[in-house]
Amino acid sequence: MSNIRVRIAPSPTGNLHVGTARAALFNYLFAKHHGGTFILRIEDTDLERSDKKYEQNIFEGLQWLGIDPDEGPEQGGLYGPYRQTERTAKYEEYIQRLLDAGKAFYCFHGEGEMRETQPAAYAPHRCDEYRNLTHDEGQAIKEAKDKEYGKNTGQYVIRFKTPIGEKIMFTDMVREELSFDSNLLGDFAIAKDTTIPLYHLAVVVDDIEMKISHVIRGEDHIPNTPKHVLLFRAFGVEPPHFAHLPLILGPDRSKLSKRHGAMSVTDYREQGYLPEALFNFLALLGWNPGDDREILTKDELIAAFSLEKVQKSGAIFDFQKLDWMNGEYIRRKPLSELAELATPFLEKSGLLQFSIFNFQFSKKEYIERIIALEQSRLKKLSEIGERVEYFFKPPVYAKELLHWKNMGDAELLASLERAEKIIGELEQDSSREVIEKTFLDAIGEGDKGSLLWPLRVALSGKKASPGPFEIMAILGIEESLKRIKAAQAALTVD
Ligand SMILES: [Zn+2]
C-alpha cells in the first residue's frame, strides 16, 4: 500500500446523495489508481439530524455502487473509530492544545450582542474584545459563566485566533494556486466547549489523526479550506493536498437540485439503473479519460484516473446520457443475469402473480425469453413492467389501434381471420423462425402491413412492441389464437 490516504466524510442526515457518491467515487478511483487507502468517516456530530437509518443507507449505497472503503465504521482500521461521535476525547485533546498555546480563546459574545455589533448576518467575527486575553483571564470568565448559567448553555464559543493581515495560500490540484486574505475569515468558531467540537476543528483533527494525504471534495468547500490550512499549521502539521471538484449542475446549468430529478443513489437504484452504469456516469461528472471513451469499466476507470484531468467548469448531470449509458450496460449483461435483475421489477409491477400463458416454459425461462426481447431497447429496469405486461395478462384493446392505415372494420376482421387461419397450421411450440417462415410464405408478394400490424396489436394491445413472430413464439400458439378471437370480439362490439 502506498501512503496515499483519502476519505469521504458524509453526514448521516439523509440518503446517500449523488454528489457525495461522485466525491466518494473520485476519492476511490484516485486511491485505487495509486494503490492507496480509501476511508469512510461518518460525520454524525449533528445529533438532532443524524440518523442510523441514513448511515445504513450510505453504507448500502456505496456497497451497491461497488465503492468499498478500506477503512470505515464497518471495516474498522488502525485509525478508528470512524464515527465522529466516538472521537470526542481526541477533539478535546486538540482543542485544549490550542487553548493552552493561546491559539484559540473563549469568546463571550452571545448571539444577541454579535448581531448588534456586526449587522451583516454572516460577517466574520474578529473578536478584538477577547482574543488577546491571557489563557487564565479567559478561563476565569468562563468558569464564572458556568457557575452563573450552567455548563454548555451557549454563553461562549471557542474561536480560533486567526492571524491578522496574512495571506493564506494553498495549491489546489484542480485549480492551482489559491490565495485568501486572513482578515476575511475572522476568528472562526471551532467548538462550543472543549467537548463539543464544531465542523472545522473536527474535520482537521480527523484528517491529521487518519493521516489523510489528499482531500478531494466539492468546490463548495473552497471557502473552508484556508481555515483548515490555518488549523493544520496551528497543530504543526503540513496540510494535505487539496483537490476541489467542480459543482454538479442540472441540464439548465443551475446547481443540481431536487427539481432536476432524483438526488439519492437509492432513487436511481429503485428506478432500475445498474450500479456499473451509475458508477461510469458519475466518474465522468467533471473528469474524462483524455480520449473519446465513454463506456469504461471500473478497472479501466481506475487505470485512467488522474486529478490533473478533473475539469474546473461545472459538470452537467445529463439525465439522457445516463439513460443511454444504462441502456448500454443493460445490453452488455448476460441474459440470465439481466433476467434476475429485472425480476424484482416485474414483481413490483404486480405481473408475477399472473400465471404464464405458455405451459411449455418454466417461469424462469418464460421471463428470460421476454427479457431477451427487450434487452436491446430497455433503458432502465423500471420500464420493464409496462413494456411486457401483455406477456402476463391479456391486453385490453384500443379499437382504433388495430386498424392498419385506413383499413375499415370489415377488412380488419378479414385480416385477423386470415392470421388466425395461418396460425392454426402451427404447432403449439413453434419457434420464431418457423412462425416467421409460415407467415412469409403465406403472404408471398402480398402486403405485409395489412396482415401483420393488426396481428401484432391483437397479440400485444400496444402501439409499439416487438414483432408478432417473436411474441407468438413466447406466448405459444394457443394463447395467440385466444387473443385474435378477443380482438375480433372487441371489434364487433357495437
Ligand atoms: Zn467575540
In the reported structure, the alpha carbon of residue 158 is separated from the centroid of ligand 1 by a whole-number distance in angstroms of 9
Query: What's the pTM value of the predicted model, to 2 decimals?
Result: 0.91
In the reported structure, the alpha carbon of residue 129 is separated from the centroid of ligand 1 by a whole-number distance in angstroms of 6
pLDDT-based confidence at residue 112 (cuts at 50, 70, 90): low
Residue 178 phi, psi (nearest 5): -120, 145
Residue 175 phi, psi (nearest 5): -105, 5
Structural contact between residues 169 and 242, judged by C-beta atoms closer than 8 angstroms = no
The top-level CATH class assigned to 399-492 is mainly alpha
CATH superfamily of the domain spanning 87-245: HUPs (3.40.50.620)
pLDDT over 90 (residue 178): yes
258 is catalytic: yes
The pLDDT score that the predictor gives to residue 403 is: 79
51-106, pLDDT tens digit by residue? 999 999 999 999 999 999 999 999 999 999 999 999 999 999 999 999 999 999 99
22-62, pLDDT tens digit by residue? 999 999 999 999 999 999 999 998 889 999 999 999 999 99
In the reported structure, the alpha carbon of residue 219 is separated from the centroid of ligand 1 by a whole-number distance in angstroms of 29
Distance CA 187, CA 192 (A): 14
- CATH code, 5-73+248-319: 3.40.50.620
Structural contact between residues 484 and 455, judged by C-beta atoms closer than 8 angstroms = yes
Residue 88 phi, psi (nearest 5): -55, -40
Distance CA 66, CA 295 (A): 16
E-strand ranges in 13-163 read 37-40, 104-107, 157-160
pLDDT over 90 (residue 493): no
Distance CA 62, CA 264 (A): 11
Name the catalytic one among 53, 258, 405, 463.
258
Strand partners, 42: 83
Taking residues 342-353, report their average pLDDT.
94
246-297, pLDDT tens digit by residue? 999 999 999 998 888 889 999 999 999 999 999 999 999 999 999 999 999 9
Taking residues 137-143, report their average pLDDT.
96
69: cis peptide before it, omega within 30°? no
- In the chain, where the domains are located: 5-73+248-319, 87-245, 334-353+360-390, 399-492
Across 319-349, b (16+ Cβ under 10 Å) vs e yields eeebbebbbbbbeebeeeebbebbbebbeeb
E-strand ranges in 78-160 read 104-107, 157-160
Query: What is the DSSP secondary-structure string of 427-449?
Result: -TT--HHHHHHHHHHHHTTS-SH
pLDDT over 70 (residue 347): yes
The pLDDT score that the predictor gives to residue 354 is: 82
List CB contacts of 223: < 8 A, sequence separation 6 or more.
Answer: none
H-only helix segments in 66-110: 88-100
Give the residue carrying C-alpha cell 386498424. Answer: 403
The pLDDT score that the predictor gives to residue 494 is: 59
The SS3 of residue 12 is coil
In the reported structure, the alpha carbon of residue 142 is separated from the centroid of ligand 1 by a whole-number distance in angstroms of 13
Nearest 5°: the CA angle 256, 259, 261 is 75
Structural contact between residues 213 and 3, judged by C-beta atoms closer than 8 angstroms = yes
pLDDT-based confidence at residue 353 (cuts at 50, 70, 90): confident
The SS3 of residue 85 is helix
The pLDDT score that the predictor gives to residue 26 is: 98
pLDDT over 60 (residue 146): yes
Ligand 1 ion: residues within 5 Å (CB)? 107, 109, 127
pLDDT-based confidence at residue 158 (cuts at 50, 70, 90): very high
In the reported structure, the alpha carbon of residue 126 is separated from the centroid of ligand 1 by a whole-number distance in angstroms of 7
pLDDT over 70 (residue 118): no
The pLDDT score that the predictor gives to residue 443 is: 93
Q: Which of 80-84, 160-164, 350-354, 470-474 has the lowest mean pLDDT?
A: 350-354
Please count the CA atoms within 13 angstroms of the CA of 101 that sit on its side-chain side.
Answer: 14
Query: What is the DSSP secondary-structure string of 370-431?
Result: HHHHHTTT-S-GGGHHHHHGGGTSPPPP-HHHH--TT--HHHHHHHHHHHHHHHHTS-TT--
One fold for 334-353+360-390 and 399-492: no
Mean pLDDT of the chain: 93
pLDDT over 70 (residue 135): yes
pLDDT-based confidence at residue 357 (cuts at 50, 70, 90): confident
Sequence letter at residue 188: F
pLDDT over 80 (residue 343): yes
pLDDT over 60 (residue 120): no
Distance CA 20, CA 8 (A): 8
In the reported structure, the alpha carbon of residue 99 is separated from the centroid of ligand 1 by a whole-number distance in angstroms of 15
Within a 10 A sphere around the Cβ of 421, how many other Cβ atoms? 11
By the 10 Å C-beta count (0-12 exposed, 13-18 middle, 19+ buried), 116 is classed as exposed
In the reported structure, the alpha carbon of residue 178 is separated from the centroid of ligand 1 by a whole-number distance in angstroms of 28
Distance CA 378, CA 248 (A): 27
| 278 vs 406: which has the higher pLDDT | 278
The pLDDT score that the predictor gives to residue 113 is: 61
For 310-313, which contacts have Cβ atoms below 8 Å and span 24 or more sequence positions? 310/26, 310/173, 310/174, 310/243, 310/245, 310/246, 310/286, 311/174, 311/246, 311/286, 311/287, 312/174, 312/175, 312/246, 313/246
List CB contacts of 359: < 8 A, sequence separation 6 or more.
Answer: 476
In the reported structure, the alpha carbon of residue 199 is separated from the centroid of ligand 1 by a whole-number distance in angstroms of 18
- CATH code, 334-353+360-390: 1.10.8.70
